[in-house]
């Protein structure tokens, strides 16, 4: 087994030299060799709510862009994991800031939104619902499937992730993007119709 490690290190070092010489496709060797390790490390160390797949991708991208900083012949895996650790620290800091922001400002924002919506007439709500149904029909079939699974079938996020072969974090992010898209669509149609005050 120990005989395999130098060969792997040699292959990695050779791939890095090729990348530095302009063969960017050679970085695939680096990714394939370390992808499982990086994802496993992130899965163990990341708090709930962190999208491990996205963070792994960002780690490899950061390593690729900083490859000229790597010293050939040193321990590449340790260097890559240091980058991964920094990416995780950056993401957890970002999430903490978001949580802090929501703790401070969410109650006020929620109250304003509730006040605004309580002033809307049933006719406006009916129009909003019609626009929402229309916007749902305009979504790609794959995006509508997420909405159906979550809101019509009441599937748990874990089941959705399993069906899509994606992480729970990726599913949450996808649902958030779809909801944003639907909200923008409805608001755009309401503004066009003159239904918003």
Residue 10, pLDDT score:
86
Of 49-53, 119-123, 177-181, the range with the highest mean pLDDT is 177-181
Closest residue by Cα to residue 174 from 38, 51, 44, 58 = 51
The residue extents of the domains of the chain are 4-92, 120-193
Considering the chain, what is the average pLDDT of its residues?
87
Rounded Cα distance between 128 and 148, Å, is: 19
- What's the average model confidence in pLDDT over 111-117? 73
pTM listed for this prediction: 0.51
pLDDT for position 123: 83
Same fold, 4-92 and 120-193: no
pLDDT at res. 117: 66
Question: What is the CATH number that goes with domain 4-92?
Answer: 1.10.1740.10
- The Cα–Cα gap between 79 and 162 comes to 32
Please report, for residues 106, 112, 124, 190, the alpha-carbon distance to residue 119 in angstroms, rounded to integers and kept in the order given. 20, 11, 10, 16
What's the confidence (pLDDT) of residue 161?
92
Least confident of 47-56, 72-81, 97-106, 183-192: 97-106
pLDDT score of 103 more than 80: no
- Please state which of the four CATH numbers 3.50.50.60, 3.10.105.10, 1.10.10.10, 3.40.50.2300 is assigned to the domain occupying 120-193: 1.10.10.10
Span between the terminal Cα atoms of the chain, in Å: 70
C-alpha distances in Å from residue 86, one per residue of 34, 82, 90, 98: 17, 6, 6, 18
99 — alpha (psi -120 to 50), left (phi > 0) or beta?
alpha
What sign has the CA pseudo-torsion 112, 114, 118, 123?
positive
């Amino acid at each position: 087994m120990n005989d395999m490690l130098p060969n792997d290190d040699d292959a990695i070092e050779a791939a890095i030299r090729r990348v530095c010489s302009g063969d960017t496709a050679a970085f695939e060797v680096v990714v394939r060799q370390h992808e499982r390790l990086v994802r496993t490390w992130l899965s163990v160390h990341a708090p709930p709510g962190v999208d491990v797949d996205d963070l792994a991708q960002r780690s490899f991208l950061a390593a690729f862009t900083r490859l000229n900083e790597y010293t050939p012949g040193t321990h590449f895996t340790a260097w890559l994991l240091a980058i991964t650790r920094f990416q995780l620290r950056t993401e957890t800091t970002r999430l903490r800031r978001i949580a802090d922001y929501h703790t401070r400002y969410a109650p006020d924002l929620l109250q304003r939104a509730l006040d605004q919506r309580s002033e809307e007439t049933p006719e406006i709500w009916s129009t909003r619902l019609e626009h929402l149904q229309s916007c749902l029909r305009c979504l790609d079939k794959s995006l509508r499937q997420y909405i159906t699974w979550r809101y019509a079938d009441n599937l748990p996020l874990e089941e959705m992730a399993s069906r899509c072969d994606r992480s729970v974090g990726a599913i949450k992010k996808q649902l958030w993007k779809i909801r944003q898209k639907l909200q923008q669509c409805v608001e755009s149609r309401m503004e066009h119709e003159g239904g918003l005050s």
